[in-house]
Amino acid sequence: MIHVTATESDAVRAIEAEAVSSRFARGWHCLGLAETFKDGKPHTVHAFGQKLVVFTGADGKTNVLDGYCRHMGGDLSQGTVKGNEIACPFHDWRWGGDGRCKSIPYSRRVPLRARTAAWPTMEQDKLLFVWNDPEGKQPPADVRIPVIEGATRDDWTDWRWTEQVVHTNAREVIDNVVDMAHFFYIHKSFPTYFKNIFENQTATQIMKGVTREDARRAREGSGGGGPRMLGNTSVASYHGPSFMIDELTYHYEGYDLHSVLINCHYPIDENSFSLHSGIIVQHSDALPPEAAEATAAKLSEFILLGFQQDVEIWKNKTRIDNPLLCEEDGPVYQLRRWYEQFYVDAADVKPEMTDRFEFEIDTTRPVESWKKEVEENLARSEGASA
């Protein structure tokens, strides 16, 4: 028999939470659909603790600059795009995408020090990315976002894109990479396989799941119809600190539906971030173009609902640096160690942040428990309707 002393069993577990760092992650961050910023107007984006101005010049290149003019502090996002420059509304100083003042209409010459902060940008898969680095360095050639083949192919739908502001620190959304159990309790899904792989700048979640029967019947009872979804297979990878590509296959009776889900964000400040989602769906014999577009729209609503379920949790939970975990909770601490690499100088990135790490959860116990819970829920439902 094992004897546990009072001090071991009765000690209260204290929640530890350090002050949130004012440093923002190094890496590519997606600002949304590139087309949004190509209307010939300046756009305000609040990111990385400051105001930015985003504009596309006559040459078609989209630029990101610090939002305030270095002359007298005018708000460039309230200015005008003139050729390839953004003109300040205060005194019409013209700023190029490289951050240099190109001309001052009323002056013979431009001061040598007339330069503002310019942020590296990238357009890929119809999306606009901006590079953030607290050290002020350019993006390394080997730090890339993988190309999403379906985003530019005719046999896939266009992006269905949503965005919203979430008032908490961005680490909360990253924790979901390893959190298997919340899919059952929050999203009414039923994970049957769950594995994580972290390596270099990529953190992957591989999950297989089935639709919760009690949730499906409740949805059908409230008017939800259409083909019966049996489950899904998901391979979701964060490439860097904020951009996740999820190769998501939904299994229906009689066919599979292939889609790509984007879950991405950029920090507004230490305690808020802009959360984006995008989805494209592949056309197929079972899903011709018109049906694929309708399905993409429906899935987009479904995904947005899932985000809202997470947001409600984040809004009411507290930040916790020392979570108390059980075996099936996944590698939370290892994930956070991987995530830390984006918040330190490049020279301070340690091997334990980037070395390959794999962890597969034994789903035997969760599956047994969850099957029993679903059966009990269905029995109560049937008893109530009898």
pLDDT at res. 221: 60
CA 270-276-280 angle, to 5 degrees, is 160
pLDDT at res. 239: 98
Beta bridge partners of 269: 272
CATH 2.102.10.10 fits 37-119, yes or no: yes
pLDDT at res. 288: 86
pLDDT at res. 278: 94
Domain ranges of the chain: 37-119, 156-379
pLDDT at res. 188: 85
Which one of 3.30.565.10, 3.40.50.2300, 3.90.380.10, 2.60.40.10 gives the CATH number of domain 156-379? 3.90.380.10
Parallel/antiparallel/unpaired status of strands 255-269 and 243-252: antiparallel
pLDDT at res. 225: 56
CA 66-68-73 angle, to 5 degrees, is 155
Question: 173: Cβ–Cβ under 8 A, 6 or more apart, which residues?
Answer: 166, 263, 265, 273, 275, 310, 314
Global confidence as pTM: 0.92
> What is the block-wise mean pLDDT of the chain (386 residues), using blocks of 10 residues?
59 92 96 98 98 98 98 98 98 98 98 96 98 97 95 94 94 96 90 97 96 76 64 95 96 88 97 95 86 84 86 93 95 98 98 98 93 89 71
Torsion of CA 166, 348, 139, 31, to 10 degrees: 0
